[in-house]
Structure 1
Amino acid sequence: MKKMIFAPFLIMASLTIIADESVADSDLELMSLYGGEEFISIATGVTQPIAKAPAVASVVTAEEIEKIGARDIDDVLETIPGLHVAKDSTGYNPIYTFRGIYAGLNPQVLMLINGIPITNLFQGDRNLVWGGMPVQSISRIEVIRGPGSALYGADAFAGVINIVTHEANGEEHFEAGARYGTFNTKDFWVSKGGSIGDLKFYGILEGQKTDGFNEKIKADAQSLWDMFGGTNASLAPGSVNTQRENYDARLELVYKNLTLRGGLQSRNNAGDGVGAAQALAENNRLSSQRFNTDLTYDNKAIIKDLSLKVQASYLHTTQEVEGDLVLYPAGSTGPFFDEFGVPIFPGGFPDGVIGSPEVYERHSRLNISSFYTGIDKHEVGFGTGYYYGDLYKVKESKNFGINPSTGFPIMPGDPVVDVSDTPFVFLEEDERENSYFFLQDIWQFANDWELTAGVRYDHYSDFGDTVNPRFALVWSTTRKLTTKLIYGEAFRAPSFVQTRAINNPLLLGNPTLDPEELKSYEIAFDYRPNYDLILNVNAFYYEWDDIIQFVSDPGGSTSTAQNAGEQTGHGMEFEARWSATERLKLIGNFAWQKSKDRNLDTDAANSPEKQLYAQMDWQFSEHWNLNLQANWVMDRNRAGGDARSDIDNYALVDMTLRRKSLWRGIDVALIVKNLFDEDAREPSPNSDFGAFIPDDLPLAGQTIMAEIRYNY
C-alpha cells in the first residue's frame, strides 16, 4: 500500500528533475525565494527555511492572521492542510484532528506556547475549561503535521502546534483595538513595547466577552432518560451554552541573553456546551485560572562552535465550577436504573443531578540544550530535562452516591455533599515525574543532501521508559525542488482520568496502562518554480497502536480504560500559494486521508476524509483589502455501532473587508464569519445507549463583527 501511495510522487520528482536540468539560477536567487517569515524552528530546534526543514510544516504569520479576520487560534488552524478543528460536546473545546487521528479529549496533539508544553495531567489536553485563545499577542503559529516525540517527548503525536508570541525587540510600539458584533460579542486589546536602556519589554492585555451563539439541539441525554423514566425534564430543544468572559495578559522582558515571560489566562462565566453529561442545563458556569512564567538563558556562542540554552518554566492551572454543575436538570431520574431498566429514584432529583468536579495542577520544567557545529558538515544537538507535574487538589460536591459522613446513599432532595478529601471523590490526587535525554545530528553529507537523525529517551515515574527515534532525508533535488523522506515514532502518555479515575458509575481508570504509540512514514515535495508560486505535496502512512479506550467490564455497568485500539491511515495533502499580482494572492489546499479501525475493520470515525480550503486576498486599492476564504469539510464517518447516517458535509465562507489608515494610525474592518449562514455541524459522540445528541453539535451561524484598531 505504501509503495502505491508514494509511486506517483517519485514519478513527479523525476519529471521535474528533467525539466529543470537546463536552469541556471544562482544560489543567491535560490535564497531569495525564502523570506524572513518562511523560517521555522520547531522541526529541529534550529531555525531553517521551511522548505528545507525535515518535517511537513506550516507557518502562519501575524499579518496573515489579521488579513483573515481571526479572533481565535482555531480560526487560523482551520487553514492548515490536513488539520481540522472539530468540537467536543463539553464546553465546545477544540479537537485538533490531524490526518484521521481523532479522540474526544484530543491528547494526541502537543500545543506549545513559545516552545513550552501546556498539557494538563487530568485529561491530557489543554484544559477542560479552555475557552479559546485570542490572537493579538501572537507573532506566528508554527505547525508540524506528524510525530515530534524525538524532540518534544510526550503527546507530540499526530502533530505539534507552537504559538510564538510577540517578542520584546526594543522597538517603540503601541496598539489598541476593539471589536463588537453578533451575540453581544465584545473584544478589546492594548499592547505596548519599547526599551529602557538595555532592558527590552513587550506587554499586552486582551479581553473577550460573548453571550454565545443561539443554535439549538433537538434532543439530549435527558431526552433519553425521560423515555426510560417517564419524566419530562429535558430542556431540549434548546440552545447550546457557549457564553464566556476571557482575559489574557502577557509580558516579556529581555536583558542581553536573558528572557523572562509571564502569562495569565483567566476564563470566567464559561458555558458547558451541551452539558458535561450531554444534557442541557440553564445556569452552568465554569472557570479556569492559568498562570505561566518562564526564564530562558540563550547564548548562541557560549564558546566557539557551541550554543547553550537553559530554560526553567512553571505553569499553574485550574478547572473550577461557579456554583453547582447540574449534570441532569431538575426532575431527572439521572442515569440510575436497575438491571431491568427501572429508575432507582423514580421521583427524580428535584434540584437536578449535581456533580461539581474541580482540579488544580502545577507543572515545573527545567530544560538544557546545546548545539555544536565544530564537526565538519555536522550540527549536533543534545539536551536533557526534568518535568514535575502535580495534580495537587481534587474537589467534588454532589447530590448522589455515598455520603462519607454517614456511609449511606445520598437521596434525591438531600443537600449537596462535599466529598473532597474522602475515598468517595472522583479522582485520585497524584504526581508525575519525567526525565529525558535527546540527541540529534543534522548531517550535510553532500552538497544537496542532508540527513537529520535523532532519538529521545524518556523515563516516567508512573509507566516507565520509552525511546522514540526519527530520520529525515532532505534532498535539494534542483534549485526549485526539495524532496523529503521522513520516518518518525511518537508516544502519548496516559492521562490521569484514564489511570486514576475512581467512584465513577460509568468509567474507571487503569493504573497499568501503557502509552499509545505511533509510527509514521512520509514523502514530501516543495516546488518553487518562481518567486510567486509555491507548490507543496506530501503523502503519508501511519500505524497507531495501544490506543486507550474504555472497555466494558464483564458482568457490570462500568468500563475500564485499556490499551485496546489499533488504527492505520494513509493519505496526501496538497497546497498552493500564488502571488498572482503584487496585490492579489491566492492560497488553496486539499487533504485526503483514509484511516481504518483495525479491530472493527471499519473506516475510522469522525475525521473528514476530504478537506478543501481556498483563500483570496486582494488589495484592490491603496488602503482597501478584501479577504475571502472558503472551507469545505467532507466525508466524515460514524463510529462503529452508530446507526445514524453519515455526518453532513458543510462549506463555510468568511469575508474580511479592511480599510487601512482611515485616519492617521487608525484601521477599521468588517468581519463576517459563515457568510451564507450554513447549518454546519460537528459529530456528537455515540454511546452504548445511542447518540445522546442525535442531530450533532451545531456551529455558529452567520456572525458579523466590526473592528477598529489604532497603531502608533
Structure 2
Amino acid sequence: MKLRLGLSLSLVCLPLLADEQQDMDKLLSMSLSELGNLRVTSATLTEETLLSVPSAMSLYRREDIQALGVIYLHQLAALVPGFQTQRMDDSGLNATLSARGRHLGASSREVLVLIDGQRINDDWTGGSNFQDRLINIENAERIEFIRGPGSAIYGSNALMGVINIVTGGAKALKLGGGTQGVARASGQWQFGDQTRNLALFGALEQRDGHNYLLSEPSPDPATPDFVNARDPAELGDLYLRASFDEFRFSGRYQRRHSHDFYVVGYVAGDTGKANSDSWHTSLGWQHSWANAISLSGQLSYSHKNIELYAPTQLAPEPIFRPLQSIFGRVEELEWATQWTLQGPWQQARWLLGWEWRNPTLTDTGGAIVPHNGEAPILFDLSAADGRTVQGLFGQLQYPLLDTLQLTLGLRYDNYSDFGGHTSPRVALVQQLGDQHSLKLMYSEAFRAPSRVETGSRASDVLTANPDLRPEVAKTLELLWAHQWAAGLFSISLYDTELKDAVLDSFVAQPEPVRTWVNGAQHISGAELEWQYQWQAHWQSRLALSHIFHPGLELNTEASNLASMSLNYADGPWSAALYATWVSAKKDANEQDYPQDVSTVEYTRLGSRATLGMHLAWQWRPQLRITLHGDNLLNADYLDVAIRPNNAVGVPGPGRSWMLGLEWTPR
C-alpha cells in the first residue's frame, strides 16, 4: 500500500470530518482541580480519582496528547515519572519501555501494555514492542500509567508498571510532511450516541530515515568498523470500535516494515529488513442489574507475525562481504477470554474475575543462508507449540473510616508449563480533607519466563534455560498527593525486592556458557510529579525520578530522569515545549567475544538532554497549521545495544521537523 494512494483516499474522505478545535480549547479551560476529579479505572477496574486510586498513577488526556503533538507511545512515556524509553539495535522501529529501573532485553517485558483492556504483550518475548512496534496513540481518549506492580489484577508482566490506552472517537484529518522524507496521513471518524456508536481510525506513514554511522563489531569488537546507514520505514494502522447496547466490538491492525539500520544487532544494509504485522479483535458484553451488580465478559483473538532478515558476519571477513545471512520468522496466535463480576456489599465494593489465554507459536522457522552457494541451514527458533494460562482474581474495597479506604486484592495464575503463582495486594488510602491523600501500598507481582528465555535456539551468545522460574517483585510504596485549584502534586517512595529475578550470567558447568538464571535484586527509588496552571493561558508539568538502589552493579538503566512540558494557548495560537533529561548509564557487552564469554565488560554512555516543540495556528475556522520538532538541539547520543559484542551503542535520531495541516470542520 503506497502512501500516495492513502493520501488521495484521505482527501476524498474529507467531507466526513467534523470539529476537533473545541477539544484543544479544553486544555487550559479545564482547571487542574477538575482534572483531579477525572476518573481512572486501570488500577482497580472501578472508577477512582487520582487522589483515591490505590496506586501511583499518571494520566494523560487526549487534549494533553494533542497539545504535545506526540504520535507514538514511547514519546509520551518519556515524560512520565519512572518510565524510560530507548532505542535498540534489533530494528529501526524498536523503542523499548521500562519502569523503575528494571529492564531485561529489548522487548519491554516488565511493563504490561493494554489497549482498551486487551493485552498487547506477546508470549514469544514477553514484551509489547517486538511485534507491536511504535504503538500509535492518536486515537487515545486517555492513557493511564500505573507506576508500579499490577499483577493482582492483570497477572504476568505487570511487574513494574502497566499502561492502559483507552481509545476514543473524534472527527479529524491530519496530513504532514517533513525532514528525512517523512510523509504521513491520519484520520478519525465517529457517529452515534453513547450506547450505539462506531469509531474508525487510520494512519499511514512513510519515512526515508536519518543518516547514521553504525558500529559493526565483527570481526573484532574492540576495534569495530563503522558503516553509513539509514532507517527507512513504512507504518500503517487501522482501528475500529463499535458499541451496540450491551455489546462492543473492536478490531485493530498494525503494520511496521523497516529496512537498513540494524536487524537483530547486525548492520542490515539495503537487503536487511524487519517486517511485522499484527491483528487484534475482541467482542465484549456487559450487563447491569437493578441491585448495581454487573457482569462483563470479553472474547479476544490476536495474530502476530514478524519476519527478520539480516546479512551477518560470523567470521573475520570485511563487513561488506558477509559470509551468510540469517532469516527468522515468528508467528503467534492467541485466544483469550475474561469475565468480571462486581457489585456493592454494605459500604464496600467487591470484584471477582476469571481469565483464560492460550498463546501459541505456530511458526518459528529460521535459516542460515551461506553466500558461497551452499544449501541453507534450516532450524527452528524454538518449539512451535503453545501453553495455557488461567487466572482467578478478586478484590474488596472497604471504607474502614469515612476517610480511610482499604483495598485487598488477590490473583492466582496457573501456567501449563511451570505451575501456579499467587499475587496479593493490600493498600490503605487516607483522605486528608478535600485536597490531600496519603497512600500506603504493598503488592506482589510476577513475570512468567518468556519463550525466548526458556526455549530460544537463535542466540549464539546467550543460551535459553528451560528451568527458569518466574520472577517475583515485592513492592512497598508510600505516596502523598495534593490537589488544589491551580495544581496537582504527588511524591512517592518505593522499595522493591525481586525474588528469582531473571538475569543473564556465566555458568561454568557442565560446559562454559552464558544463560538466563534466577537471582535476587533490590530496587528503591522516588518519583515526583507536579502540574501547575500559572495563568489562564499557561500550564506546566514536571516529572523527576531517582533510583537510590539500582539493583545491579552493572545496570543498563539510568538512575536519574527529568522531564518537563510547558503549554500555552490563547485565541488561534497554541504551543508546547517539552524536554527530557536522562543520566548516564552502562552498556554491558562482550568486548572479548568470542574468545572469552565468562567476563562482562561495559561502555559508559553519557547523559543526554532532548528538546521538542509543537506549534499550532488556527488559520481558518476548520483548518489548523502545525509545526512539530523533535531533538531541536540535534543532540548526539547513544543507547544500549542488545547485541553483546557491540561495545559502542545504538545512535538515536537527530533533529527532525514536520509541517502539518489539520482539517476539523464544524
Q: TM-score normalized by structure 1?
A: 0.83
Indicate whether 1:509 and 2:464 are aligned: yes
Equivalent-residue separation in structure 2 for 1:511 and 1:436 (angstroms)? 22
User: Which structure has the larger Rg?
Assistant: 1
Q: Secondary structure at the match of 2:395?
A: strand
Equivalent-residue separation in structure 2 for 1:516 and 1:58 (angstroms)? 25
Q: CA shift at 1:244, angstroms?
A: 1.2
Counterparts of residues 346-361 of structure 1 (less than 5 Å)? 352-361=323-332
Q: Secondary structure at the match of 1:203?
A: strand
Aligned counterpart, 2:574: 625
Paired AA for residue 259 in structure 2: G
650, 653, 656: which is aligned to 1:703?
A: 656
Aligned counterpart, 1:592: 546
Indicate whether 1:128 and 2:130 are aligned: yes
Distance 1:257 1:631, change over 3 A: same
Paired AA for residue 97 in structure 1: S
130, 135, 141: which is aligned to 2:143?
A: 141
Indicate whether 1:387 and 2:357 are aligned: yes
**CA RMSD between the two structures:** 2.4
Distance 1:509 1:376, change over 3 A: same
Paired AA for residue 703 in structure 1: S
Equivalent-residue separation in structure 1 for 2:140 and 2:448 (angstroms)? 28
Aligned counterpart, 2:422: 467
Assess if the C-alpha contact under 8 Å between 1:215 and 1:701 holds in 2.
Answer: no
Aligned counterpart, 1:649: 607
1:150-204 deviation line (CA, Å, top 9, x unaligned): 000000001001111115xxxxx63111111111011101221113997411111
Assess if the C-alpha contact under 8 Å between 2:122 and 2:131 holds in 1.
Answer: no
Equivalent-residue separation in structure 2 for 1:38 and 1:73 (angstroms)? 21
Equivalent-residue separation in structure 2 for 1:482 and 1:584 (angstroms)? 26
Equivalent-residue separation in structure 2 for 1:163 and 1:460 (angstroms)? 26
Equivalent-residue separation in structure 1 for 2:319 and 2:542 (angstroms)? 54
324, 328, 337: which is aligned to 1:366?
A: 337
Distance 1:221 1:646, change over 3 A: closer
Equivalent-residue separation in structure 2 for 1:638 and 1:199 (angstroms)? 52
Assess if the C-alpha contact under 8 Å between 2:263 and 2:273 holds in 1.
Answer: no
Equivalent-residue separation in structure 2 for 1:663 and 1:126 (angstroms)? 40
Q: Secondary structure at the match of 1:497?
A: helix
Equivalent-residue separation in structure 2 for 1:197 and 1:471 (angstroms)? 35
200, 215, 218: which is aligned to 1:222?
A: 218
Distance 1:36 1:627, change over 3 A: same
> Which sits farther off after the overlay, 89-98 or 514-523?
89-98
Aligned counterpart, 1:307: 294
Q: Secondary structure at the match of 1:382?
A: strand
Indicate whether 1:297 and 2:280 are aligned: no
Paired AA for residue 568 in structure 2: W
Aligned counterpart, 2:449: 494
Equivalent-residue separation in structure 2 for 1:65 and 1:701 (angstroms)? 22
Aligned counterpart, 2:173: 176
Indicate whether 1:427 and 2:382 are aligned: yes
Aligned counterpart, 1:104: 105
Aligned counterpart, 2:250: 261
Q: CA shift at 1:125, angstroms?
A: 1.3
Equivalent-residue separation in structure 1 for 2:611 and 2:450 (angstroms)? 37
Counterparts of residues 34-433 of structure 1 (less than 5 Å)? 34-35=34-35, 38-92=38-92, 93-105=94-106, 106-167=108-169, 174-195=171-192, 199-217=196-214, 219-222=215-218, 224=220, 236-239=226-229, 241-268=230-257, 270-271=258-259, 273-299=261-287, 301-321=288-308, 324-328=309-313, 334=314, 352-373=323-344, 375-399=345-369, 413-415=372-374, 417=376, 419=378, 424-433=379-388
Equivalent-residue separation in structure 2 for 1:531 and 1:627 (angstroms)? 22
Give unmatched runs, 5+ long, in structure 2: 1-30, 590-598
Q: Secondary structure at the match of 1:222?
A: coil
Q: CA shift at 1:504, angstroms?
A: 4.7
Distance 1:639 1:127, change over 3 A: closer
More strand by share: 2
Q: CA shift at 1:316, angstroms?
A: 0.5
Aligned counterpart, 2:630: 673
Paired AA for residue 496 in structure 2: Y
Q: Secondary structure at the match of 1:292?
A: strand
1:609-630 deviation line (CA, Å, top 9, x unaligned): 11111211112x3111121111
Equivalent-residue separation in structure 2 for 1:395 and 1:49 (angstroms)? 48
Paired AA for residue 303 in structure 2: H
Equivalent-residue separation in structure 1 for 2:375 and 2:136 (angstroms)? 36
Aligned counterpart, 1:574: 528
Equivalent-residue separation in structure 2 for 1:585 and 1:288 (angstroms)? 39
Q: Secondary structure at the match of 1:40?
A: coil
Equivalent-residue separation in structure 2 for 1:456 and 1:383 (angstroms)? 9
Aligned residues: 623
Equivalent-residue separation in structure 1 for 2:588 and 2:83 (angstroms)? 20
Q: Secondary structure at the match of 1:521?
A: strand
Equivalent-residue separation in structure 2 for 1:32 and 1:303 (angstroms)? 35
Assess if the C-alpha contact under 8 Å between 1:351 and 1:413 holds in 2.
Answer: no
429, 436, 440: which is aligned to 2:391?
A: 436
Q: Secondary structure at the match of 2:473?
A: strand
Distance 1:502 1:646, change over 3 A: closer
Assess if the C-alpha contact under 8 Å between 2:221 and 2:647 holds in 1.
Answer: no
> Which sits farther off after the overlay, 628-637 or 121-130?
121-130
- Identity among equivalent positions (%) equals 22
Aligned counterpart, 2:473: 518
> Which sits farther off after the overlay, 53-62 or 272-281?
272-281
Assess if the C-alpha contact under 8 Å between 1:613 and 1:632 holds in 2.
Answer: yes
Aligned counterpart, 1:340: none
Q: Secondary structure at the match of 2:605?
A: coil
> Which sits farther off after the overlay, 88-97 or 39-48?
88-97
Aligned counterpart, 2:557: 607
Q: Secondary structure at the match of 2:661?
A: strand
Equivalent-residue separation in structure 2 for 1:470 and 1:32 (angstroms)? 30
Q: TM-score normalized by structure 2?
A: 0.89
Equivalent-residue separation in structure 1 for 2:159 and 2:32 (angstroms)? 33
1:82-140 deviation line (CA, Å, top 9, x unaligned): 11112222115222121111212321111111111111121111242443122222111
Assess if the C-alpha contact under 8 Å between 1:238 and 1:280 holds in 2.
Answer: no
Paired AA for residue 616 in structure 2: R
Aligned counterpart, 2:22: none
Paired AA for residue 360 in structure 1: E
Paired AA for residue 168 in structure 2: H
Q: CA shift at 1:676, angstroms?
A: 1.2
Q: CA shift at 1:559, angstroms?
A: 2.9
Distance 1:654 1:198, change over 3 A: closer
Equivalent-residue separation in structure 2 for 1:347 and 1:414 (angstroms)? 18
